[in-house]
Amino acid sequence: MAERCAVIGVGQTHHKAKRDDVSIAGLVREAAKMALADADLTWTDIDAVVIGKAPDMFEGNMMPELYLAPALGAVGKPMFRVHTAGSVGGSTALVAAHLISSGIHKRVLTVAYEKQSDSDAMWALSVPQPFAAPLLAGAGGYFAPHIRAYMRRSGAPEYIGRMVAVKDRRNAMRNPYAHLHIADIDMKMVEESMMLWDPLRYLEACPSSDGAAAMVLSSEDALSGQYPPAWIHGMAMRSEPTMFAGRDQVNPRAGRDCSADVYAQAGITDPRRQIDVAEVYVPFSWYEPMWLENLGFCDLGDGWKLTESGATAFDGDIPWNTSGGVLSSNPIGASGMLRFLEVAMQVRGQAGEHQIGGARVALGQAYGGGSQFFSMWVVGSDKP
């Protein structure tokens, strides 16, 4: 990276099934104004705005960045839209960071959102195409066979998915912005919930949320705000086609390549020891052990053993998704940015009840599409 770049402001909405108290513009402004306030800045201090969301078809709002420009103080300023399916919140933050690291801008506002109550994402993801096999109902229908493949490969016992579901929902109790607050969640409640897509039960799947996330990114000579900056130590994106002969759907190469790149930039050779806390896109419980392997936190086939051992729990040695993660809030377009934002909060020491004490290096990861788009960053409290 040519110029250093840091997160100096973060904001997010209270994520809920239906935010009928706000329009889409009101939703994105809620997060953006909070990020500006955190950075002690106003709209006029911002050089450019980068916005992301999942497919336009979700809300039926084509190119929403055009009408949201005045809502985000972007009149007369450069404004960019990013679109990489579910990973878009992460990619959006990275595009914004590139505008700083390239030396083009000093302060960039980046925002991501989804208003699932205005839309019908499950059916938007299940559009039957002529001459093509149906993709079944929603994302869970697509991922469930890959989860089965993982279980067969690794020999993971059935209860691992339930453990992740319980852990992330318990973490969400520490996060006032999380959509789901299920105080009495336990293994039995998950096991007794309805089977949606074998082996995924209802409580092993993410909710449908309305929500937005925003960050202010800054160059080294334009820092502001009450909390110390979260310095970006590495950032990378990779993608691959949804289907091709020989593709490893369980452990996609794009994810492995993306993490190798981001670790190389950040000087990470042993992720499990060097990363203090991680926020990883786990919309369905089994993606925790799968991504533990894909991200190199353990050897292939050992991801479920880390989960089972409690290593990824709040008091484990590599806490994953202390915010409650995507399993507790899923405003799709914003979900990736929330991963990036939450790790920035961790190294800035502003994560409140879900803060991991002494967190200095943190990984944010987002994936999207059919496990084909990946975006990641490593942030740290020390200047790179």
Partner 1 sequence: MPESEALHASHRLEYPYARSVGPVIGAFLTGLRDGRLLGVRGSGGSVIVPPTEYDPDTGDDTGEVVEVGPGGVVESWAWVPDPLPKHPSDRPFAWALIRLDGADTALLHAVDSGGPDRLATGDRVTVRFRPAAERIGSMADIEAFVPEGGAA
Report the interface residues with partner 1, using CB under 8 A: 18-26, 29, 43-44, 59-60, 70-75, 115, 117-120, 123-124, 127-131
The Cα 48–Cα 92 span in angstroms is: 13
Question: In this structure, what token pair is assigned to residue 65?
Answer: 């960045």
Query: Whose Cβ is closer to partner 1: residue 105's or residue 201's?
Result: 105
Query: Whose Cβ is closer to partner 1: residue 64's or residue 364's?
Result: 64
Do 352 and 310 meet the contact criterion of CB atoms below 8 Å apart?
Answer: no
CB of 23 to partner 1, least distance (A): 3
Instruction: Identify any residues that bridge with 232 across adjacent strands, giving them in sequence order.
Output: 379
Query: Whose Cβ is closer to partner 1: residue 19's or residue 238's?
Result: 19
The Cα 178–Cα 233 span in angstroms is: 27
CB of 245 to partner 1, least distance (A): 23
CB of 79 to partner 1, least distance (A): 12
Query: Whose Cβ is closer to partner 1: residue 124's or residue 311's?
Result: 124
CB of 94 to partner 1, least distance (A): 24
CB of 60 to partner 1, least distance (A): 4
Residues 6+ apart with CB under 8 A from 314: 167, 170, 171, 174, 322, 354, 356
Query: Whose Cβ is closer to partner 1: residue 71's or residue 94's?
Result: 71
The Cα 35–Cα 222 span in angstroms is: 15
Q: Report which residue type is found at 136.
A: L
CB of 29 to partner 1, least distance (A): 7
Do 250 and 286 meet the contact criterion of CB atoms below 8 Å apart?
Answer: no
3-state DSSP call for residue 217? strand
Phi, psi of 137 (to 5 degrees): -90, 110
The Cα 238–Cα 367 span in angstroms is: 10
Query: Whose Cβ is closer to partner 1: residue 18's or residue 273's?
Result: 18
